[in-house]
Amino acid sequence: MPSGFSFDRKFLDHLTGPGHPEKPERATSIIEHLDRQSWAGELHRIAPLPADERWIESIHSEKYRRHAETACKNGLAYLDSMDVSISESSYDVALLAAGAPLVLADALVAKKIDNGFALVRPPGHHAEYDAALGFCLFNNVAVVARYLQIAHGLEKIAIVDWDVHHGNGTQHSFETDPSILYISTHQYPFYPGTGAFDETGEGRGRGATLNCPMPAGASDKDYESAFRTKVLPALEDFAPECILISAGFDAHSDDPLAQVNLSTDMFAWMTKRLVEIADKTADGRIISLLEGGYNLSRVAECVAVHLEVLLNAANSRLV
């Protein structure tokens, strides 16, 4: 089966204003770089569809969804937080961003693809049940996790979030749910202030959250150690039926919004390790979604090495 890829130029219609780091050029720089790769034509392109509002409301309140729709349609400049810039098209684009991983999920479960990557904006992992935060309107990865369970009957889903900022919204979505394992590597203390090591879930979900806070200046070696001693053992023990990746690339050493020093190659290394776990427990099933990454050249390079690993994994199963 091929590796899936979902993108639409409508993602460029979410306008955030001059100087905002989460800008349309993030997507265009990635697409332009991918178009120069010899293997890009092997990706199975799947057009995204807007997420039905019921799937948005599986994670967010109806009140918040309607609030987001009204704010965008009325031309407000911000939604809930000064860092969530919006435009009139932002609600429709956010529905499309939440919907892109859903079409990949459908194709994955139907065995039309082996794994997939959704190149979406706005990102999602900071969005809370009833509030926008950190450039995010809807929590895309949380929506597809719940969709896999409700629409496709998968029971155990793992979310690995290597964005440099902690995915507060994703953690809060599932912190009482033992069927969703949430793992995050992130700079700490740092925005948004959550993600301490002792945040491990609540109630029945205690133990299903694993935070690996990293100090400013953390290196490839530090992340490799965290993966080998914490992340990979937790995934093997949990044995997910699908792995979702909140693939932010702002932990790169050249990213302007943080102080973690990963190389481009490290993102390929982490992807390979997750592919190995998915092969053991999930029949290879991985869906990855773009989160952060704000150096235009580096985010494009990192997405390319990440996608190449996923594509090679898919191709290897064809042999």
CA gap 75, 59 in Å, rounded? 25
Q: Residue 236: pLDDT above 80?
A: yes
Q: Residue 318: pLDDT above 70?
A: no
| Residue 51 phi, psi dihedral angles, 5° rounding | -70, 135
Higher pLDDT, 62 or 1: 62
User: Among this protein's residues, is 14 annotated catalytic?
Assistant: no
Helices marked H in the chain: 25-35, 53-56, 62-73, 90-109, 140-152, 168-174, 220-226, 232-238, 264-281, 296-316
CA gap 48, 99 in Å, rounded? 6
pLDDT tens per residue, range 192-222: 999 999 999 999 999 999 999 999 999 999 9
Domain ranges of the chain: 3-316
Catalytic residue among 14, 60, 126, 165: 126
pLDDT tens per residue, range 237-283: 999 999 999 999 999 999 999 999 999 999 999 999 999 999 999 99
CA gap 47, 100 in Å, rounded? 7
Q: Residue 319: pLDDT above 90?
A: no
CA gap 28, 114 in Å, rounded? 25
The CATH H-level (homologous superfamily) assignment of domain 3-316 is Histone deacetylase domain (3.40.800.20)
pLDDT tens per residue, range 9-49: 999 999 999 999 999 999 999 999 999 999 999 999 999 99
- % the chain with pLDDT above 90: 98
